[in-house]
Amino acid sequence: MPDAEASRWISTFLDARAADLGASRNTQLAYGRDLSDFADWLARRGRGLAQTDRAAVEDYLVHCDAQGLSKATRARRLSSIRQLFRFAVEEGWRADNPALRLTGPGKAQSLPKTLSETEVTRLMEAARTRGRNPVDRLRDTALFELLYATGLRVSELVGLPVAAVRGDPRMILVKGKGDKERMVPLSTPARTALAAWLAQRDAEDEAGKKAGRAPSRFLFPGDGREGHLTRQYFHSLVKDVAVLAGISPSRVTPHVLRHAFATHLLAHGADLRVIQTLLGHADVATTEIYTHVLDDHLKDLVLTKHPLARKG
């Protein structure tokens, strides 16, 4: 366990990040886990954050590598440590930042996994039949249609307020990372699925009121502490629907459907900047990775559709 001083440093730093940057809860949790692991590693060696030097940070990164952590995870941990020490210098807790000049392992850029349009269609059809009762089937259909139509992050999807979709809107307001807001259009199938789910959900709310239960403010209510479906539940739901659709569940996650949304838009000629806005990416460089997914598609297009392409 981190010592009392380390715990105070970390909690104060996280509180400041939340206040200044509006960091999401998931980001805060990731930073907290990274820094607690580092502080715990130091404590087991009889050292604290105030006495840490560059060599200790380097040794910790070697330790992370020996644990088999990915390049992305090690890069994130170094970033967390660097930012904590920068904050410590600003607060006057330290005179220097021992992680300032360290070079991280860098992120290995891997192409996002995606699905074909045919496979997505099979998922949509499976979502309509998977549920144990009509209510579950309406909800599952709305979840899948909304996710594929908008490319929302799973946390954005399950936490969507019901007020966002009232009145059969053609666009909905989504609050993403850092509380940044963006407008996302809805497809006709998504609007149809949402209308059916809302009618059912409102009927249940009305029945709940008569029984003394307060209506949920979320589009997809849940029994957990947060009041909406959890990310873990939806992740399991996606796996179940994949099996029903005859697709290996190892290939399908909520994030893969987000990738499919972006890749299919790009394949049909959507502008990269538009996709960046829809996904809520701060930098278009993040969105550019989808262009690589289409390499094989574009090669095939040139070889089969170009007027000078060789026949046979």
Catalytic residue set: 153, 177, 255, 258, 281, 290
Residue pair 24/177 in contact (Cβ under 8 Å)? The answer is yes
Block residue for tokens 């940044």: 180
First to last CA, the chain: 68
| Cα(172)–Cα(151) distance, integer angstroms | 12
| Cα(88)–Cα(5) distance, integer angstroms | 12
Could you give the C-alpha distances from 6 to 49, 96, 304, in angstroms and in order?
Answer: 6, 16, 62
Phi-psi region of 46 (alpha: psi -120 to 50; beta: other; left: phi over 0): left
Max CA pair span of the chain: 74
Residue pair 154/299 in contact (Cβ under 8 Å)? The answer is no
| Cα(197)–Cα(137) distance, integer angstroms | 9
| Cα(176)–Cα(169) distance, integer angstroms | 19
Instruction: Give, in degrees to the nearest 5, the angle at Cα 116 between 112 and 118.
Output: 160
Residue pair 252/116 in contact (Cβ under 8 Å)? The answer is no
